[in-house]
Structure 1
Amino acid sequence: MAKEKDGNPAPEPAKPPKKAKDPVKKWTRIILLLALALLAWYLRADRVTPMTTQARVHALVVPVAPEVSGTITQVDVANNQFVEAGQVLFRIDDERYRLGVQQAQAALDQAYSSQGAASANVQAAEATLRSAQAAEERSRLDALRMRRIREEDPGALSARRLESAEASLKVAQGNVTAAEAALRAAIEQLGRPGDDNSAVQQALAGRESAQLDETRATVQAPEDGVVTGVQLDKGNFAGAGQPQMTFIATHNIWIQADLKENNLEHIDPGDRVGIVFDVLPGRVIEGTVREVGFGVDIQNPPLGKLPTIQNDKNWLRSAQRFPVLVDFELPRNERRITPIKVGSQATVVVYTGENPVTNLLARWVMAARSILTYAY
């Protein structure tokens, strides 16, 4: 240590003041690190917990159309009403169909009657054949007897009587042939016996068809579901095959979530799904992946024409999306009162495996979205 002349220690030289940290650089680094972390999380989450807001509820929608035509006499349901399998939806005037059943029954009775007459004809033909065969046998014996007498004593019997006996035999043989042909014709006309008879079978089919038409005059729900689009009343004419209302089956409701191609790599049927319905704010419903769509519609050029090329002028092209079908189930006590309808929108996230961090973050995001659905 340096000393001054008077013996006192010399003062140390002053240190340069420390430079103050630039807050702009500090926050720039923090924001940059956060951005990199968010980017890494997004790239990872987009693969293992893909999410989409392009999701809607779908169901089997069946147009309800009668199979017979007629005037509507009764409507048993209201618009947007829950119905059970077999419940009557509406009825068509069945008077002419009841008359059709009566006519078909009369035709069946006539077929049975005709079958009885044909059976009697067969019996008569059989009796005629037996009589002809007996007459033939008598004629044959007479001719044989006269021929033997003529051979033993030519003078005992004239040739004329022998010729007459032989002619009678030929006539009897012809009668047998005719009786056999008549019997075959009668049997052919009779056909099979009992209900196996073709005419009876045709009449039975006609009666069943008429009874079926009478039954079809009452239109019933095919299964449990909801009827909507009910715009008919008594007096309306309903044509066969013309839809009168729409039936929505409630036993098979699913969500179609449209995910980007690069989201599909790890998605498999059975993966767990989180669902937030716009109509059920504050709740996250669980579901499972049913299947991943194999393709989407593209415009193929007609035969004989060249394809049209759409030039993409943007820096980034739009991502192609594919449908992912998701099954979900509400609590039993909510199935009939739930506001979820066909076409309801939803936000969907797929948990593609055991990824604790990304799965936890995805659950937080879905919980936040479920709260935000109160506002929009």
Structure 2
Amino acid sequence: MNTQSVLRFATTILIFLLAILVGAALWKHYMYSPWTRDGRVRAEVVKIAPDVPGLVTSVNVIDNQFVHQGEVLLVIDQARYQLTLNQMRANLTASQANVEASVANIAAAKAAVVAKQADYQMYREQSERRQRIPQGTVISAEARSNAMAVARAAEASWHQAQAALGQAQAAHEQALAAESQAQVAVATAELNLQRTVIHAPVDGYATNVTVRVGDYASAGAQRMALIDSHSYYLYGYFEETKLPRLRVGDPVDIRLMAGGIHLKGQIIGVARGITDRDNPTGSDQLANVNPTFNWVRLAQRVPVRISIDPSQMPKGMVLSAGMTATVVVHPKGGHDQTAPAVATSAH
């Protein structure tokens, strides 16, 4: 074998070894490097639904309109709720009048008790004096009996006045309770009237506005959604083989598929569980184990929540929930090896 053949053979072997090394490096990078193309932009969505039912009299937003917190989104017909509030206020006024009347009744009952007690004391003393007079003198036995009967009648009247006072006090307590109920009814009517005007709870974008003036809005039925403009974040779905290198606080590079926009972020949380599709739970709460097993097993994908740095967002860019992105994590050096590892799916 001449020198040229040896050189060609050595070159071939070198290229083959180099291809193996490059292939192994690429495979390791693909399998274990903390990156994924399966990133999704998400945001907090507030479901806007009336708290009270009624006809819609005003809709102040259109689809995709930006609104500030506190702005009016829609208004429910207020006439019926205003009438209810007026009625509840009238009931409260009547109950307050009943309380004042019950106070006057208590005062009258107390005065009657004092008067009856005085009469009873007077007739009792009179009866006792006549009882002390010896029999056969100027006073007859009949007069003594009459004086005793009058004293007993005065005592009964005194006790009756005391019972009437107790009834007046009970009626006062009932009037106070009725007044409290009327106050609660007024507060409820005022709250219902306030709830006819629906305000934006956060800054955001109104979307899926399906309500129109004249529609009947049922309580609790969603009529639009409000995407919180300050709540955008990212979910990166990482294969379980890549999770051991991820930690909360690691910086993240985000490249949106929409125009290749480059953003910065940070890992803020890792999901601690995903659904096991192969082994669902049966109707009797026992594991429904799949009797077959595939030798080729795909790595499960676990959601990793990533915050988006708003200072790095280009001015005027459109960020929509549902956008896709490529996510590359830059693990920080010197991770604490005693820190709890991210949970992975077992095979």
Return the TM-score normalized by structure 1.
0.82
Tell whether 2:205 aligns with 1:220. no
1:136 paired residue among 100, 120, 125: 120
- SS of corresponding position for 1:270: coil
Q: What is the CA-CA distance between 1:330 and the residue it aligns to?
A: 2.9
1:260 paired residue among 239, 250, 254: 239
- Contact 1:224/1:249 (<8 A) preserved: yes
Q: What is the CA-CA distance between 1:25 and the residue it aligns to?
A: 5.3
- Contact 2:264/2:312 (<8 A) preserved: no
Moved more, 239-248 or 315-324: 315-324
Q: What is the CA-CA distance between 1:44 and the residue it aligns to?
A: 5.8
Tell whether 2:147 aligns with 1:165. yes
- SS of corresponding position for 2:244: coil
Distance 2:310 2:12 in 1: 47
Q: Which amino acid aligns with 2:212?
A: D
Tell whether 2:294 aligns with 1:303. no
Q: 1:219 to 1:249 in 2, by over 3 A?
A: same
Q: Which residue of 1 aligns with 2:330?
A: 351
Q: Which residue of 1 aligns with 2:104?
A: 120
Q: What is the CA-CA distance between 1:254 and the residue it aligns to?
A: 1.2
Tell whether 2:20 aligns with 1:40. no
Q: What is the CA-CA distance between 1:342 and the residue it aligns to?
A: 0.7
Larger radius of gyration: 1
* 1:238-317 correspondence runs (5 A): 238-281=217-260, 283-298=261-276, 299-303=280-284, 307-309=288-290, 311-313=292-294, 315-317=295-297
Tell whether 2:56 aligns with 1:76. no
Q: Which amino acid aligns with 1:294?
A: R
Q: Which residue of 2 aligns with 1:58?
A: 42
2:183 paired residue among 201, 204, 209: 204
Can you list the C-alpha shifts for 1:251-296, whole angstroms capped at 9, x where unaligned?
2221111111111112111001111111142x32111001111000
- Contact 2:263/2:312 (<8 A) preserved: no
Return the TM-score normalized by structure 2.
0.89
Q: 1:74 to 1:171 in 2, by over 3 A?
A: same
Distance 2:312 2:8 in 1: 58
Q: What is the CA-CA distance between 1:228 and the residue it aligns to?
A: 0.2
Distance 2:255 2:94 in 1: 68
Q: 1:157 to 1:54 in 2, by over 3 A?
A: same
- SS of corresponding position for 2:229: strand
Tell whether 2:305 aligns with 1:325. yes
Q: Which amino acid aligns with 2:105?
A: N
Deviating above 6 A after TM superposition, structure 1's stretches of 4 or more consecutive aligned residues are none
- Contact 2:203/2:229 (<8 A) preserved: yes
Q: What is the CA-CA distance between 1:168 and the residue it aligns to?
A: 0.4
Q: Which amino acid aligns with 2:138?
A: A
Q: What is the CA-CA distance between 1:42 and the residue it aligns to?
A: 4.4
Q: Which residue of 2 aligns with 1:154?
A: 136
- Contact 1:86/1:220 (<8 A) preserved: yes
Q: What is the CA-CA distance between 1:305 and the residue it aligns to?
A: 5.9
Distance 1:311 1:22 in 2: 53
Distance 1:61 1:310 in 2: 41
- SS of corresponding position for 1:264: helix
Q: What is the CA-CA distance between 1:311 and the residue it aligns to?
A: 2.6
- Contact 1:279/1:340 (<8 A) preserved: no
- SS of corresponding position for 1:301: coil
What is the number of residues matched between the two proteins?
331
Distance 1:287 1:279 in 2: 17
Distance 1:303 1:297 in 2: 18
Distance 2:10 2:54 in 1: 83
Q: What is the CA-CA distance between 1:18 and the residue it aligns to?
A: 3.8
Distance 2:83 2:209 in 1: 30
Moved more, 21-30 or 113-122: 21-30
User: Percent identical across equivalent pairs?
Assistant: 29
Q: What is the CA-CA distance between 1:334 and the residue it aligns to?
A: 4.9
- Contact 1:53/1:347 (<8 A) preserved: yes
